[in-house]
Amino acid sequence: MARWFTMAILVLFTSVATAVEVRFEPMAENVYAHVGDIGARSVANDGLNANLGLVVTAAGAVLIDSGATWRSARDIQAAARRVTSQPIRWVINTGGQDHRWLGNGYFQAQGAELIAHASAVADMRSRGGDQLAALRSLLGAAANDTVPTLPTRLLEGPDTRLTLGGTVFELRHRGGGHTPGDMAVWLPQAQVAFAGDIVYVDRLLAVLPVSSTKAWLDAFAALEQLAPKHIVPGHGRVTDMATARAQTRDYLQALRVHMKRAVEQGIDVSDAVKSFHAVPFLHLSNAAELNPGNANRTYLEVERE
């Protein structure tokens, strides 16, 4: 176990990948993570600017998130084959962003079962066409053969426990967050959490029109209760809880506290956005571009509450 711990720490402090190559690095015994580009979707990264997981069991492999396109899914499978000869039996989608699920069709054609929380489906149906259109505009032929393919095994309720080949997967959903279907994948035997877009580090998170910052904080709190040794965030380097708190939870809390006060005091949205103190978070990648929209949408959310 000491060997696996050392390898995990090396991953923790390794710089974020800046190329399209998919590479699964060990986190614990039979648990691997690919750390993606923290920049925007681009031709260079094939639209795959997110982290992925791979868990190898005695009865087959489990992929956590399927990539943005058919082509990136093919690259993900090739990377998985460099780690294990086990076929990918399950694909777990941790949310409704394009890079979490638009590679589903590729893996379904290989015989994998597609798993997600039921709350993700309406979001996937609603935004999948637009997501794919944007990827086609960006990537051109590299997005060919990509067909939005919905998960077939839908989970209900806040907590689901699944077992494959003796490996336990606990799936935690608290009403969404970045997207309505956001959920964390907890591996209690390895003490590793794949947080999906519940956690961002190294780059600023994005509050979307479909996001719920209130549910997001609930999801973060549920993750925190697990006290994981290692967290694979949706974006950024493999991390620990202290960093996740500082770069995800604290930002969301600051947004909500500021915007709630602004709404209660009758301050209009533009002034509330301008007066939000974002300095502690501006060192994060993409912060200058994303923070104004995040602040605006959080104000509107709090106003509706």
Domains of the chain in start order, with CATH, are: 2-240 (3.60.15.10)
Find where tokens 């301008």 sit.
274
Dihedral sign for Cα atoms in the order 76, 16, 139, 68: positive
For 283, residues 6+ apart whose C-beta sits below 8 A from its C-beta are none
DSSP class per residue in 55-93: EEETTEEEEE---SSHHHHHHHHHHHHHH-SS-EEEEE-
Order of strands across the sheet that contains 167-173: 159-164, 167-173, 183-187, 192-200, 230-235
Residue 5 is predicted with a pLDDT of 41
pLDDT in tens, 87-114: 999 999 999 999 999 999 999 999 999 9
CA distance 56 to 54: 7
User: Which of these, 80, 79, 69, lies nearest to 106 by C-alpha position?
Assistant: 69
Mean of the per-residue pLDDT values for the chain?
A: 93
* pLDDT tops 60 at residue 49: yes
For the chain, the residue count is: 305
pLDDT in tens, 10-48: 444 343 433 468 999 999 999 999 999 988 899 988 899
The reported pTM is 0.92
